[in-house]
Amino acid sequence: MVQGWLVVAALAIGLVAGAGATALLFVALHRNRTAAAVAAGALPAGIDAVLDVLGAPAILVDPSNRLIRASAAARAAGLVGDGIEPAVLAAVAEVRRTGSPLERDVTIGGDRRHHLHLSAALVGARHVLVLAEDRTEAIRLTEVRRDFVANVSHELKTPIGAIGLLAEAVESAAEDPEQVRRFAARLSSEAARLGELTQDIIALSRIQSAEPVAAPEPVGLDAVVATAIEHSRVAAEAKQVELVAGKRRGLRVLGHQPTLVTAVQNLIRNAIQYSPEHSRVGVGVARRGDRVEISVTDQGPGISEEDQERIFERFFRSDPARSRETGGTGLGLAIVKHAAANHGGEVRVWSRLGRGSTFTISLPLADDGAAGGSATVPAARSEGGAG
């Protein structure tokens, strides 16, 4: 009975202190193993209740390697499926062989892999308790950050290198005014590209690191669309693309107006970049039940089904050669995705090759009596697509 309360107390420490107390938990169990040997084969009192409330993935294995107890999170983390995961059984065998607590990093699963930090120790004479800390998301975020830094470095290298070469060209052509003007124009273009990329990196970093809007205010979407169109008008006129706004709907959402303007403007800018001259880009707002949709439609070349799955990834370009002609940083749609998610919404795309594309931001509709600063934007729904 004493051993049972020691187990419960040690597990309680782990619940209160988190993953950092795992080692302490198993040391406590190991030091009291001798007392438990008297009651070999009996489970410590209270172990069922502890496993029931344990938030971390945990399993208890008997001397024959049969699963006799499991926490609710154990199956979600992949510790058990049709049987106990082989990597977990290997850790159990090691604990029995050495008689000492064990900590080990393992990767399990097939298509959906889990990166786990296992902690295992004897409970009683030959039962083994295994706890797992799921580090899958932390590892994924580390990989995303590493890829992001690599992509940013690559994208910055092109305009910076071009600016250096053009500066040298201007210097060597000092006696030829026509050449100087030509190189100066290209310098301005590359500087603008560098500035746009820098601004998009800053915007994505800010939006991606932000929590759902904590103090949202009622935002009229007619004003959001009008502002985004006005900010895009110069680019549209330069390419002779007509911007067409739908009817004013008087619909509102709860959120942050500048962020929503940025998201819609990025969709419009993307549509202009991929639209042929003398074509149209339409922007409309519509209500769909308890949600509101902002759609941007173009008459461009369309996007293949394969590329639609990745279109919202940072720096993804379906045709890098064409992207150099159309411009853009490859970050605009990623910014839209995160801006929508921060407002409890999502963004999706419909497209057919040769028939254009429609990008739609779907957001929760504000209640008629919504007041600023009194609510929190709902958490985002499951997002379709990649990124």
Domain boundary among 180, 209, 238: 209
Instruction: Give the residue carrying structure tokens 């049987």.
Output: 83
Confidence of residue 183 (pLDDT cuts 50, 70, 90): confident
Q: Both 219 and 367 in a single domain?
A: yes
Band (pLDDT 50/70/90 cuts) for residue 82 is confident
CATH number of the domain within which 56 lies:
3.30.450.20
CATH of the domain at 171: 1.10.287.130
Instruction: Please identify which residue in the block is written with the tokens 């040997």.
Output: 37
Domain termination site, one of 81, 110, 134: 134
Query: According to the 3-state scheme, what is the secondary structure of the chain?
Result: CHHHHHHHHHHHHHHHHHHHHHHHHHHHHHHCHHHHHCCCCCCCCCHHHHHHHCCCCEEEECCCCCEEEECHHHHHCCCECCCECHHHHHHHHHHHHHCCCEEEEEEECCCCCEEEEEEEEEECCCEEEEEEEECHHHHHHHHHHHHHHHHHHHHHHHHHHHHHHHHHHHHHCCCCHHHHHHHHHHHHHHHHHHHHHHHHHHHHHHHHHCCCCCCCEEEEHHHHHHHHHHHHHHHHHHCCCEEEECCCCCCEEEECHHHHHHHHHHHHHHHHHCCCCCCEEEEEEEEECCEEEEEEECCCCCCCHHHHCCCCCCCCCCCHHHHHHHCCCCCHHHHHHHHHHHCCCEEEEEEECCCEEEEEEEEECCCCCCCCCCCCCCCCCCCCCCC
Tell me how far apart the alpha carbons of residues 58 and 129 are, in angstroms, rounded to a whole number: 7
Q: How many domains does the chain have?
A: 3
Check residue 20 and give its pLDDT: 43
Name the pLDDT band for 133 (thresholds 50, 70, 90). Answer: confident
Q: Are residues 231 and 377 in the same domain?
A: yes
Beta bridge partners of 122: 128
Task: Mark whether 165 and 257 lie in a shared domain.
Answer: no
Name which residue leads in pLDDT, 267 or 110. Answer: 267
Residues 191 and 251 in one domain: no
pLDDT digits (tens, 9 = 90+) for 92-108: 999 988 889 989 888 88
- Both 242 and 289 in one domain: the answer is yes
CATH number of the domain residue 307 falls in: 3.30.565.10
What percentage of the chain has pLDDT greater than the value 70?
71
Say what the pLDDT of residue 3 is.
43
| One domain for residues 145 and 58 | no
Average pLDDT over residues 185-207: 77
pTM for this prediction: 0.53
Region 354-371: mean pLDDT is 82
Q: Is the pLDDT of residue 29 over 80?
A: no
In the structure encoding, which two tokens stand for residue 150, read together? 């690599």
Residue 25 pLDDT > 60, yes or no? no
**How many CA atoms lie less than 13 Å away from 47 in the CB half-sphere?**
23
Structural domain span for residue 190: 137-209
pLDDT surpasses 60 at 265: yes
Share of the chain above pLDDT 90, in %: 24
Task: Answer yes or no: do 198 and 161 share one domain.
Answer: yes
Residue 238 or residue 151, greater confidence: 238
Side chain identity, residue 319: D
Strand pairing category for 242-245 and 252-255: unpaired
Query: Do 351 and 242 sit in the same domain of this protein?
Result: yes
- For residues 274 and 379, membership in a common domain is answered with yes
Per-residue pLDDT, 294:
96
373 in the same domain as 272: yes
pLDDT for position 140: 76
CA dist 155 and 195 (Å) reads 12
pLDDT of residue 288: 92
What confidence score (pLDDT) does residue 381 get? 39
Residue 290 pLDDT level (bands cut at 50, 70, 90): very high
Model confidence at 251: pLDDT above 90: yes
Residue 197 or 43, more confident: 197
Instruction: Give the per-residue pLDDT at 375.
Output: 45
User: What pLDDT is stored for residue 172 in this prediction?
Assistant: 84
Lowest mean pLDDT among 34-38, 168-172, 222-226: 34-38
